Structure 1
Amino acid sequence: MSAPVTATSPTPTTLDVAAERMRTPGCSTGHHFNSAGAALLASSTVEAVIDHLRAESLHGGYEAAKLAADELAAVYDRTAALLGVHADEVALVESATAGWQRIVSSLRLRPGDRVLAARSSYVSSALHLLAAERDAGIRVEVLPNGPDGATDLEMLERALRAGPAALVTAAHVPTSSGLVEPAAAIGASAAAHGVPFLLDATQSLGQLPTDMEALGCDLLIGTGRKFLRAPRGTGLLAVRRPLLERLAPQAPDVRGALWTGERSWELAPDARRFELWEAAHALRLGLGSALADLHRLGPRAVFAHLTALAARLRERLGAVPGVRLADPSAAGGAIVTFVVDGLDAGEVQRQLALRRVYLVAVPAAHGRWDMDPRGLAKVVRASVHVYTDDDDLDALVEAVAQIAAAARRTARTPSDVTATASEATTAPAPAAVRATASPSASAPTSVPPPDSPSASTPVPATDTPSASASGPFPAALPGARPAWQATGHLYDAVVVGLGVHGSAALRQLAERGLDVLGLERFALGHDLGSSHGATRMIRRAYPHPDWDGLVDTAYRAWAELEEAAKSRLVDVTGGLYAAPAGRPDALRGPGCRSVDADEAARIFPGLRLPEGFTAVHDPAAGIINACQALRVQLTLAERAGARIADRTPVTDWQPDGDHVLVRTASGPVRARRLVLCAGPWTPSLVPSLAGHLTVTRIVNAYFAADPRGPLGPSGLGSFSVDLPEGLLYGFPADDGRGLKAGLDAGPPWDPEAARPAATADELTLLTRAVARVLPGAGAVTESLTCLYTMTADRRFLVGEVPGAPGVLMASACSGHGFKFGPAIGAALADLVCERPRPDLDFLSPARLIPGGAR
């Protein structure tokens, strides 16, 4: 028998987190806190797996295994070194559960045998024991916990003295909390009474010391996919001698036994008797690579680093109002669990994922013995690793704080949709009726760009249209007299313009039970206004605190829309927004911080700031799928009963007693309320404000860029740089089309005029700006244009049209309004329903009128 294997690599005292992040490609995709579920793989581990698969493809599976025999043998040595045992006491299996079942079945438990199980036991282990209790008559005794939440050692001792026991088992760290069981003390008690101790080290391998002799365990199982950072489908078990000689698998396999005669066989002399012949050798080599990384870093250094990192996280989360830590006092190691008051843990997980913060929610069904006595139905579980840095911690804590704050506000102001007296007499609209009228002769025509769907192909109407984000826009149905224009019909509200704000308002009004009609000048999804195109930015960074509340509302509104649509609409990438240092109107905002050019380059390696520039880093910034958002809002509006008429220009409107008369190219309609979201056509519909509005032509373009390089998602996110040419903004396209960028400047434009494609001069100006800050960007591959409707102060107009009671508007969104789409739609619906929105006073149209409110 060989001597126990020990690690010989040096043990560093500190970890180079930046170096580990460079070796971990997944760090570029978000903030990952799921090491207790499946940690991010190092690139070397991935390469080890792929290299062997290539060898199998070239040489065959058996031949490739022979070529890798030495490296496969090294996996046993590295595992043994981690556990402080002999290499022949280690078996490689497919998962921790597979190891558990083979070990426990080999104990040949009989009726009446007592198994003392800690409350930390994992669901699969508990279910196996309970099934054996029911089917084989064993007795499962669940050990109580002490005041610190760990196994009560005194009660364990009493149970051992009460009579013979066949097995003691505990999870070193449970799946449901950061508890660290006193494994060494449990093992010492079990050994004193001659009872085997089986330790489930699934959650502790790779993050806590797991020397089996020091822990006093005879049997150990674990997985590779968690803190060991190995591929899924890898696991291990270890059985120390002399117990190994007494155990035999119930179902011997050719890997672990030799068939010696007609009715005889011999077991392998070592722990490989528990293995199966068929195994994923590529995955095992990945496990070996991950183990080599752990030994290179030094297990003690990793243990100390993760424990300290999680302690900081636990302290910071515990200080967030509305957040309760769910870890018992005996917690430690790399796992932190918590709950947010008023929110299901699964909802917290979902909202965090929208912010690119990834972790899991653990239900009580995964740990009944632990969670039920503590009154926990579900917890949020965060787990750190060697690639977790301070930005990750900041992102998690800030996101949780936002979610908790929103939950508190919701609890204080429960949603109630109330109708006005006149609305109360109006029956909800029937299933959606879609109709079309002829476009006006003066309406310009265009071909939708590649990122806009064509509106020329009608799609059959259905009574219950899907809210799928990938389907076409709702299509119009022809008819001699539009059904929406029934004689004498009075709508609760008519919405003019079905871009992002109009479609959001239409949906909100319809879902509140109002009889509502949406009118669109052109075909749905057209590219003539301000809402077309594939993508838009979202950010929290704004120059004045007036915006903070609306920004927070917008983030929540997008999350709500995603939930309603069952579709992801926002991809959080983080953002950098740069300007010359010392500007008095610099961006700021909740969770944002200022960074210099060097730090900006570390955050977004693809972006280079000009000399003398600083930036604001907004970790919650990201990209909205604009085209999908429009489809979703219109579909949900129809589903709620809204009528939609596209290709129906509104020519005029006027008060009509307590109502509003709306004239269209197809004839008039009447409504109690009118909501104008006409974008660049607002000046013609609200002449009193025309002098305060400037319609501007804007050019955007896609530049060739390698999506795997510094100008792809791994090296760049949402950005803007305030250059002399104008505000340059952009982000990597998520569909592989390169880099999208635009300049927030352009000439005044008549929205009724024809719209030519981007000129050579316009693209040259944009290309020069891109070259200044985005080295490596290639040539322009395609371009598109849009129209901004601007105010001098670049603040929106949201509220009642001055001098026109019953007429509301949302306009002049000045190039930054798309991100607020669902929130502005809800605000307009509130105003239609006469619910006060004082938070919007700073956007009131009356501020532009002399003597108006501000």
Structure 2
Amino acid sequence: MRGNPYPDGIQFRNFAIHDDTVKELRAATPGTRYARHLNAAGAALASETVLGTVIEHLRLEARIGGYEAAEAARERSEQVYALAARLIGAEPEDIALTESATVAWHRALDAMPLRPGDRILAAASSYVSSALHLFELRRSRGIEVEVLPCAADGTVDLSALADALRRPAALVTVAHVPTSSALIEPVAEIAALTTAAGVPLLLDATQSLGHLPLDVAATGIDLVVGTGRKFLRGPRGTGLLYVSPRMRERLHPPHPDVRGALWQSGDRVELAPGARRFETWENAHALRLGLGAALQETLALGVDTIGRYASGLADRLRAALGEMPGVRLTDPPAGGGAIVTFVRDDEKPAETVRRLRAAGVHLVAVPAQHGRWDLERRGLDAVVRASVHVYNDESDVDALVTALGRPAPRMVRPSSRTDVIVIGAGVHGSSTAWHLARRGARVIQLDRFPDGHTEGSSHGHIRMIRRAYPNPVWDDLVDRAYLAWAELSAAAGVRLLTTTGGLYARPVGEATPGLRGPGCVPVDAVRAAEIFPGLRLGDEFGAIYDPAAGVLDAAAAMRSLRELSLAHGVDRRTGCRVEGWNADGEGVTVRTADGLLRADRLVIAAGPWTGALVPELAGLLRVVRIVNIHIGATDPAAVSAPALGPFSVEVPGAGLLYGLPAVDGSALKIGLDHGPADDPDRPQTPVTAAEAATLLGLARRFLPAANGDVVDSVACRYTMAPRNRFAVGALAGTPQVLVAAACSGHGFKFGPAIGAGLADLALGKQRPDLDFLSPEELGTLG
């Protein structure tokens, strides 16, 4: 890795994570395509394997029933206990699986025979939910809660703990790593003192499992609670409870059920012999299997390896933040590991997080009420918490530092005016904002939804690009699109276009003209099978082969446009609803839910909401629902390039089937280029079983290697115009207002080129090559 002290990879106990390994881990983590995720201590990104495991079991339940699916997965479900035990040096019978760490905490403490006056000694590192439960136990059972003092380095004062243990105590509880800092408590030393005093120790390992080693047998810890969603990279809604054999003899679950107890006869009940006495019958089997998959991945890579890598990456962040004026690190001296907390002196942590998220850098603010015993003691109202994992690399850290170092956006007062307002943060709006800002224009970009939403049509992992078009009028714009993608790739330092070639098939003898284009050649079904063995066409189909066709990394493109726009000073305001606009002399006034904004020019790239903002186009625009599914394959190579590339097939009676090959660990993607009318003001709904079944049936016909189940699905909205045309340019009568609309399902490939064109027009440059897309001509040309 560049910039770290381990030039050959981060070494630890003969383990190492090298650059290539990190690339593989990133490729196997879908979330890395969309944002810089530095919130592993909140909810880490799951791998494709974990995601697939959960979805696979849910589909099995849907096919054969929940009980039957649980029976089929019984062996794998049992393995989860063994994996969790191996993680912490325990035995499988010592493990109970729960819905969260908090549920595990409650079941452990509620089972303790606590009496009035019993003392519970709690570290200042304790989490808010733990403290709240202790307060309730004080009220309902009369226990005493004592907060242990801290040493100078922020950890539990061991001398004070030893003194406190000279009096009888019922329990000591410590968070291995708190929610509010990177502090790492000296667990072994604390456990030695509690063991010597004969007092049980409850360790909250929520923030440490998966990146800090833990051996309960070696340390003598009695109780451990943890969650699956953080550094273990498991699904939300999973957790675990460890109960030592000696501790089980002292605990009695107050609410046993059929999972944890056997009703022998009459009123005689026998508790389950192991920790499963703390479980309940009903649970999310799919999530637990997903936790098992996450545990397998963690153990295969090695907790020591993960911790060493994450600590090295966090050290890089600490060093960079330590040199930034106005940024203050807030971790105590005993801080370390994968977490870094800080504040920016001129900005509240919640605002810092909001601004960084708008920049595509995801972390979290921790308010004092989530850790008062820690933050209040240190005089902090809140902190910003960043936390890294193995799917992060130095580019994520550098992106955080760069975004943090930018000044807060200058708010435009009602009496002032900016150069251009861009409505919409899809591919066209974001491309336009970037092109304008890099030329020196002051730009405010507005979007009604937060980044990463799925309400429009620019989300998703990959898109198709091709030179093949039915009408030569598109050829120049297609050329510009390829050049624009190369320019964006160079600016972002990321390869966004992979050339694979593409096949576009239709029935032989079809009367209407098909696709054609520079370099494209017609082929029959036999030749098509030689080009793409993964696509099966019958003799009734002919095709056009486009050697320049390829796959666009849409997620990386959107992320790059966001980061480049911010780097050039775009004031991005997501979650800002535009209520309307009106001409203001030679400029424009935009009405938002947050107030009025004024600009010399307005660009409307609002996707499905264009008709509401441009009434004169509303009658020409039709919003439709489009669904895509991703299908697994026993041989992924058979549905990946070069065995398969982008394709489409005009299927009589079904419509235009299109697809993209499996790329970077994702599954084959297919969809139909038509759909029912949709209302963009209603939340997007998931793909239905019937919609998925229709596409899966077509896949079985034309893609024999796609023999797996549906592993993912996504819905989007196309905004269709007559004859599938675009509207790009100034509105009649208001030349200061430009629009990019109705991209009719094939507009993403033109994103950077259309953005450059709109930037030219907004800054007064003539673009006669775009006249055929004038809003006045919408739907009038072939």
Q: Name the TM-score class by shorter chain.
A: 0.5 to 0.7
Residue matched to 1:61 = 66
- Tell me, what secondary structure is at the counterpart of 2:97? strand
> Which of 389, 395, 400 is the matching residue for 1:391?
395
What TM-score do you get using the length of structure 2 for normalisation?
0.60
Q: 2:447–2:574: 8 Å Cα contact kept in structure 1?
A: no
Residue matched to 1:306 = 310
- Tell me, what secondary structure is at the counterpart of 1:381? strand
Q: 1:11–1:297: 8 Å Cα contact kept in structure 2?
A: no
- Tell me, what secondary structure is at the counterpart of 2:294? helix
Q: Give CA deviations for 1:519-559 in whole Å, capped at 9, x if unaligned.
A: xxxxxx9xxxxxx9866532389778xx4xx66xx4xx548
Instruction: Tell me the CA shift for residue 626 of structure 1.
Output: 12
Instruction: Tell me the CA shift for residue 319 of structure 1.
Output: 1.6
Closer, same or farther in 2 for the Cα pair 1:679/1:336, shift >3 Å? closer
> Which of 321, 324, 329 is the matching residue for 1:325?
329
Residue matched to 1:182 = 186
Structure 1, unmatched stretches of 5+, are 1-9, 420-494, 505-524, 526-531, 575-593, 645-674, 681-702, 716-732, 797-811, 816-854
Alpha-carbon distance in 2 for matches of 1:49, 1:567: 21
2:274 equivalent to 1:379: no
2:44 equivalent to 1:39: yes
Amino acid at match of 1:13: A
Tell me the percent identity. 43
Q: Give CA deviations for 1:448-493 in whole Å, capped at 9, x if unaligned.
A: xxxxxxxxxxxxxxxxxxxxxxxxxxxxxxxxxxxxxxxxxxxxxx
Residue matched to 2:293 = 289
Closer, same or farther in 2 for the Cα pair 1:11/1:736, shift >3 Å? farther
Residue matched to 2:404 = 400
Q: 1:704–1:737: 8 Å Cα contact kept in structure 2?
A: no
Residue matched to 1:14 = 17
Residue matched to 1:264 = 268
Residue matched to 1:214 = 218
Where does 1:689-700 land on structure 2 (aligned, <5 Å)?
Answer: none
Residue matched to 1:621 = 564
Q: Give CA deviations for 1:325-377 in whole Å, capped at 9, x if unaligned.
A: 11111111111111111211111111111111111111111111111111111
> Which of 156, 160, 164 is the matching residue for 1:159?
164
Alpha-carbon distance in 1 for matches of 2:64, 2:95: 28
Instruction: Tell me the CA shift for residue 568 of structure 1.
Output: 12
Residue matched to 2:255 = 251
Where does 1:227-626 land on structure 2 (aligned, <5 Å)?
Answer: 227-402=231-406, 405-406=407-408, 536-539=431-434, 547=440, 554=443, 557-558=444-445, 600=493, 602=495, 605=498, 620-621=563-564
Instruction: Tell me the CA shift for residue 93 of structure 1.
Output: 0.8
Closer, same or farther in 2 for the Cα pair 1:813/1:153, shift >3 Å? farther
Alpha-carbon distance in 2 for matches of 1:109, 1:709: 60
Instruction: Tell me the CA shift for residue 788 of structure 1.
Output: 7.5
Closer, same or farther in 2 for the Cα pair 1:166/1:58, shift >3 Å? same
Amino acid at match of 1:374: R
Closer, same or farther in 2 for the Cα pair 1:215/1:398, shift >3 Å? farther
2:100 equivalent to 1:95: yes
Residue matched to 1:81 = 86
Q: Give CA deviations for 1:758-789 in whole Å, capped at 9, x if unaligned.
A: 9xxxx9xxx9xx9xxx9xx69x9xx9998877
- Tell me, what secondary structure is at the counterpart of 1:287? helix
Q: 2:489–2:496: 8 Å Cα contact kept in structure 1?
A: no
- Tell me, what secondary structure is at the counterpart of 2:53? helix
Q: Give CA deviations for 1:131-188 in whole Å, capped at 9, x if unaligned.
A: 1112211110000111111111111111112x11110000000111111111111111
2:211 equivalent to 1:225: no
Residue matched to 1:28 = 33
| Greater C-alpha Rg | 1
Alpha-carbon distance in 2 for matches of 1:125, 1:626: 35
Closer, same or farther in 2 for the Cα pair 1:559/1:275, shift >3 Å? same
Q: 1:83–1:210: 8 Å Cα contact kept in structure 2?
A: yes
Alpha-carbon distance in 2 for matches of 1:543, 1:625: 18
Amino acid at match of 2:362: Y
Alpha-carbon distance in 2 for matches of 1:573, 1:786: 24
Instruction: Tell me the CA shift for residue 398 of structure 1.
Output: 0.5
Instruction: Tell me the CA shift for residue 379 of structure 1.
Output: 1.0
Alignment coverage as a number of residue pairs: 548
Q: 1:32–1:358: 8 Å Cα contact kept in structure 2?
A: yes
Q: 1:30–1:573: 8 Å Cα contact kept in structure 2?
A: no
- Tell me, what secondary structure is at the counterpart of 1:85? coil
Amino acid at match of 1:138: I
Q: Give CA deviations for 1:25-66 in whole Å, capped at 9, x if unaligned.
A: 111111101111111111111111111112222222122111
- Tell me, what secondary structure is at the counterpart of 1:247? coil
Amino acid at match of 1:42: S
Q: Give CA deviations for 1:684-712 in whole Å, capped at 9, x if unaligned.
A: xxxxxxxxxxxxxxxxxxx9997977999
Closer, same or farther in 2 for the Cα pair 1:605/1:334, shift >3 Å? farther
- Tell me, what secondary structure is at the counterpart of 1:621? helix
Alpha-carbon distance in 2 for matches of 1:375, 1:348: 19
Q: Which moved more, 1:195-204 or 1:328-337?
A: 328-337
Closer, same or farther in 2 for the Cα pair 1:340/1:750, shift >3 Å? closer
Instruction: Tell me the CA shift for residue 216 of structure 1.
Output: 3.3
Amino acid at match of 2:24: A
- Tell me, what secondary structure is at the counterpart of 2:376? helix
2:23 equivalent to 1:128: no
Alpha-carbon distance in 2 for matches of 1:543, 1:399: 17
Q: 1:144–1:155: 8 Å Cα contact kept in structure 2?
A: yes
Closer, same or farther in 2 for the Cα pair 1:736/1:18, shift >3 Å? farther
Closer, same or farther in 2 for the Cα pair 1:124/1:542, shift >3 Å? closer
Closer, same or farther in 2 for the Cα pair 1:679/1:268, shift >3 Å? closer
Structure 2, unmatched stretches of 5+, are 1-12, 462-486, 501-547, 551-556, 583-588, 604-645, 649-657, 668-714, 768-782
Q: 1:606–1:710: 8 Å Cα contact kept in structure 2?
A: no
What TM-score do you get using the length of structure 1 for normalisation?
0.56
Alpha-carbon distance in 2 for matches of 1:84, 1:678: 64
Alpha-carbon distance in 2 for matches of 1:245, 1:640: 60
Closer, same or farther in 2 for the Cα pair 1:315/1:57, shift >3 Å? same
Q: 1:536–1:625: 8 Å Cα contact kept in structure 2?
A: no
Closer, same or farther in 2 for the Cα pair 1:639/1:204, shift >3 Å? closer
Alpha-carbon distance in 1 for matches of 2:734, 2:333: 69
Alpha-carbon distance in 2 for matches of 1:294, 1:313: 23
Alpha-carbon distance in 1 for matches of 2:363, 2:599: 42
Instruction: Tell me the CA shift for residue 110 of structure 1.
Output: 0.6
Residue matched to 1:688 = none
Closer, same or farther in 2 for the Cα pair 1:418/1:258, shift >3 Å? closer
